[in-house]
Amino acid sequence: MQRREKRKFIKEGIVGYIQKIIIAVIIVLMIAFIISLLTDANFKKVLGFSALITLTIGIFSTYGSNSAIRQSGYIFIREQSGGANAAKRNFELRNDSYRFFISTGITAGILYIIYLLI
């Protein structure tokens, strides 16, 4: 790839990542608002809990993915079926898990900032 193509590729990736985070924030805000309407709860409290739940989902997802990759049975089966690409695929799975955690962490952070501003 040339330098311009790399920049364009990186820029498109970052813009897409930001769009996904904004969509996730909007969805969680809508869910929190609907829950607060249905239960007559304070929207601010529901939003705070929504931020914590979003962060918890990211933490448990990352933990579960990493513990599955470390299990010897999983490694043995992956090596038997995948051959040389098994280790590369394990790293990709781990990196995807960390990307998901980062996105849920940023989403929870934005929700918490909104919680503080209300």
pLDDT, tens digit, 9 for 90 and up, residues 22-43: 999 999 999 999 999 999 999 9
* CA–CA distance, 113 with 118 (Å, rounded to integer): 9
pTM of the model: 0.77
Q: What is the pLDDT of residue 4?
A: 80
Q: Which residues of the chain have pLDDT under 70?
A: 1, 66-84, 86-87
Q: What is the pLDDT of residue 5?
A: 83
Q: What is the pLDDT of residue 97?
A: 85
- Chain length of the chain: 118
Which of 44, 17, 14, 58 is closest to 112 using CA atoms? Answer: 44
Q: What is the pLDDT of residue 12?
A: 87
